[in-house]
Amino acid sequence: MNTICRVCDSSNLELAIDLGNQPWCNHFLNFEEIGTEPFYPLRVLYCHDCGTVQLDYTVKKEIMFGNHTYLSGVTKSLSEHFKKVADEVDNRFFQKTPGKSVLDIGSNDGTQLKHFQTLGYDVLGVESSKTTAKIANDAEIPTLNDFFNLEVVKRLDRKFHAINAAGVFFHLEELHSVTEGIREALHENGVFIVQFLYMKRIIDNIAFDQIYHEHLLYYNLNTIEVLLNRHGLSMFDAYLSPIHGGSIIGFVTHEGTRKTTDRLLTMRRAEVNEKSNELSTYLDFAKRIEQMKVDNLAYLEKAKKNGKRIWGFGAPVKGNTMLNYFGIGTQYLDYLVEKNELRRGLYSPGMHIPLLIEKELTELPDIYYVLAWNFKKEILANNQHLIDKGTEFYFPVDPSEV
């Protein structure tokens, strides 16, 4: 159990949200593994000194990230988002920079780097998963299979104009070594692009399923800036993107080198006005999660009584938080339907729901219970033909528009 704040080292922590004991939600099971998976506490603590919310229990990074099955390139809208980010970074900062370079931390299958490569960047990824690093290297996107930290930076012994971290900054067991490594590897006029789930938006959407063991920390602007400032880095601009239900795209550089934008100042003020970093907000969030459980189970129970056949749509890691906390297993969902073929023939951790591959389906349910709700627009657009035939798509989390 972690009793020291991961960001500011304070011991003044208080329990805010308790989602019970849960399996590591990215460990999809073979049939032989069913019932053998370990469960770990999933509790969120609030730091009274810096306002950061964080898990109190750490599942070792070697367990979670050594060989996971998540692939960035599977979802069209995520690839389109990464292209937009690459284009923006190039247009704003480095379009005319000779020998421009980019480092991607937690680069996955290289989807983000591919878009930078198209723009003429010298690219390098650092990815901990052997499987996904190999996919990237096979696609000629240079990728180092390792856990990024200060030691890796010292081995590389080079500077980068742009450093990107998309959806990894809340995963970091070696938080301060990684942040110091970024400072060390960033060119004196470089820009670090940090992309992270926005806790303020998670609360707005009641998207509690984005809390799971891989996400050790949950940031608002105020709290991530405490971390960055500790390492001589400073956020100078940021905006809210609709990706994943609401993510911050933040632009960071060496302290004192760029002026803070008006839009970042406005977002900081909104956090203060809406008490986004106060304990009372998180305690209220916990109560809303409990009510959401009651409402969802009532919906599923009624559908089952009416003879409806219900399948889960998507098998994202966060979906397993929801399934396990709500207690939704095969008594409600016959299958989970996935695009990612690395998950063929597997079962969901904890609830043991079998997975099917979407393109191989020979029949359809009456209702899709959508666990991959963060891609709502893409899902509805791709499946309009099923909706026209009467298939219902139910979104337990309905993300508000950004």
Q: Which tens digit of pLDDT belongs to each residue from 338-373?
A: 988 888 999 999 999 999 999 999 999 999 999 999
Model-wide pTM > 0.85: yes
**pLDDT tens profile 122-154:** 999 999 888 889 999 999 999 999 999 999 999
Give CA separation, 195 vs 113, 117, 222, 252, in Å: 14, 19, 15, 11
Query: Is the Cβ–Cβ distance between 49 and 5 less than 8 Å?
Result: yes
Kindly report, residue by residue over 19-28, the tens digit of the pLDDT.
Answer: 999 999 888 9
pLDDT tens across 86-130, in order? Answer: 999 999 999 999 999 999 999 989 999 999 999 999 999 999 888
Domains for the chain: give ranges and CATH numbers. Answer: 72-279 (3.40.50.150), 297-394 (3.40.50.720)
Least confident of 41-45, 51-55, 303-307, 378-382: 378-382
**Cα distance between residue 244 and residue 253, in whole Å:** 25
How far apart (Å, rounded) are the C-alpha atoms in residues 369 and 357? 16
What is the DSSP pairing of strand 217-218 with strand 53-55? antiparallel
pLDDT of 4 higher than 50: yes
